[in-house]
Amino acid sequence: MHRFANPTRFMRASALVLPWLAVATALLLGAGLLLALFVAPPDYQQGESVRIMYVHVPAAWLASAAYLSLAVASAIALIWRHPLADIAAQEAAPIGAVFTAICLLSGSLWGKPMWGAWWVWDARLTSMLVLFFLYLGYIALVNAFDDEERGARAGAILALVGVVDLPIIKFSVDWWNTLHQPASVFRLGGPTIAVSMLAPLLVMALGFTLFFATVLLLRMRAAILARKLRALRRAEAEAAGRFAAGPRDAAGSVL
Amino acid sequence: MTRKRLRLYAVLSGLAALGVATALVLSAFNDSLVFFYSPTELKTKSAPFERQLRIGGLVAEHSVARSDDGRTTDFTVTDGTNTVRVTYTGALPDLFREGQGVVAEGVLRRDGTFRASSVLAKHDERYMPPEVAAALKKSGHWQEGAATAGAAAKGAAP
């Protein structure tokens, strides 16, 4: 891990991996959507509406997984001060926020026909909404400081505090009476979902995961380049400043 | 101890303290975080009369009765131990049927019946093609709303 904490090495390694990741993402998401929309059977209770699951559930999983990686990167940044960890955390946040938004919106579209309500304040839905606000709060906090480093540190602490929401999301459906049904896949006693529906779901979930990895690498590369550019500009401006403020005869001699 | 070690322990102990604090808060709030009461909880926790609350459970078999104008529906909500008779006027969700999990919002009247102002359908965590469900029903391995009833019964425990 320490080996890849070097930005130069990261740029080289990620350039090698990215094309493969992007192609695999496109293939998996394409295949997953075909399977989910055309091959998977309708549900005995929900009929065709069940196909919303193939977007809703992977988005929910990735919303939590992205937050976990945001928190791990924040911990590494706080403890070991790796320059890449801060970048990874900050670039993961918007992606996770979008996954959370997709989860909330698709869940709302699914809830209306199945439950009879767009939204209810049960423990699962509320804890997921809290996750969305955690992402937004993190993004706002990191950008609220003039000093980049202080913003990153404040954000990292908020990210770690927010981790308590993850087990609450996962177990909310077991701990409390909720309108949202309990877990179907990651549960004791095995999945309660037919294999013909589980397979497309897992393909979609893998596709979402690779999509996250691809976009994260792209964003991290862009962020590293942007930081380099800013450093160069600053060095240039400093050099120019020194030149302008320099002694008159020195300037004259250059001219 | 190096500074890195120190920061590691600080983060770990901070997280542990936060975890304990959250667990305490959640267990203290446990009752108010409940989205609905099961019929058993209505009895054991002596839910207030004429106050807005939600109840949940399964629609009991052969309990649904519609009024002549078709707008008012009476049905019994059960958690396997206790039951509540519910009256509701309005459109029901598509998933509403006998054996289905429901959550009804409304008020508990003094005669022990529940006047619902909205009824939501609660589906269980089982997903399967219709053929599989039909086969299960045919072979007698079908447990209607087994999971939802289990959850409601578990919720009834203190």
pLDDT in tens, A86-104: 999 999 999 999 999 999 9
Distance CA B72, CA B116 (A): 11
Judged by CB atoms closer than 8 Å, whether chains meet at A46 and B7 is answered as: no
Distance CA B103, CA B106 (A): 10
Q: Report which of A68, A230, A82, A81 is spatially closest to residue A159, judged by C-alpha positions.
A: A68
Question: Beta strand B101-108 with B52-59: parallel, antiparallel or unpaired?
Answer: antiparallel
**Whether B107 contacts B114, CB under 8 Å:** yes
**pLDDT value at position B156?**
35
- Report the residue of chain A nearest B121, measured CA to CA: A115
Count of Cβ atoms closer than 10 Å to residue A245 Cβ:
8
Judged by CB atoms closer than 8 Å, whether chains meet at A164 and B22 is answered as: yes
Q: Which residue has the tokens 């959640």?
A: B26
Confidence of residue A190 (pLDDT cuts 50, 70, 90): confident
**Token output for A5:** 């904490």
Q: What predicted TM-score, i.e. pTM, was given to this entire model?
A: 0.86
Judged by CB atoms closer than 8 Å, whether chains meet at A196 and B129 is answered as: yes
> Average pLDDT by consecutive 10-residue portion of chain B (158 residues)?
84 89 83 81 82 90 85 90 90 85 90 90 86 81 54 37
Give A121-169 as a DSSP string: --HHHHHHHHHHHHHHHHHHHHTT-SSHHHHHHHHHHHHHHHTTHHHHH
**Which ipTM did the prediction report?**
0.78
- Which of A35, A78, A160, A177 is the best mutation test for B, with the most CBs of B within 10 A? A177
- Report the residue of chain A nearest B101, measured CA to CA: A179
Residue A18 has pLDDT above 90, yes or no: yes
Distance (Å) from the alpha carbon of B123 to chain A's nearest alpha carbon: 6
B33 and chain A in contact, CB less than 8 A: yes
pLDDT: which is higher, A73 or B128: A73
Show the CA angle centred on residue B8, arms to residues B2 and B9, nearest 5°: 95
- Report the residue of chain B nearest A39, measured CA to CA: B129
Cross-strand bridge partners of residue B115:
B87, B107
DSSP B72: E
Domain ranges of chain A: 16-41+50-180+198-241
